[in-house]
Amino acid sequence: MTKKEFAERNIGMTFDFIRQVVDDPSLAASMTDGAEIAFVDKDAPASVKAGPRGKHVMRYKVEHVFEPVKG
């Protein structure tokens, strides 16, 4: 996957995620202030790691809907 394809994929997922948050505001309520959001492919193993400078990273599994990854 080229950098351009990767960027376009992430932009598309971001807009899909925003649409879902608008439809279900409880998803936004579950987010930690200042957390970084990462999208995880549905088949990828979910590993819990701190983000840059120790920021909390909230991961969302991407299928047809976004699902918070516990951990």
Q: What is the pLDDT of residue 52?
A: 56
Q: How far apart are CA 37 and CA 58, in angstroms?
A: 5
Parent domain of 20: 3-68
- The DSSP bridge partners found for residue 60 are 39, 68
pLDDT tens for 27-60 read 888 888 888 888 776 665 555 454 556 667 777 7
Q: What is the pLDDT of residue 51?
A: 53
Total number of domains in the chain: 1
Q: What is the pLDDT of residue 49?
A: 52
In this model, does residue 10 exceed pLDDT 70? yes
The H-assigned helical ranges of 1-71 are 3-23, 26-29
pLDDT tens for 16-27 read 888 888 998 988
Q: What is the pLDDT of residue 50?
A: 47
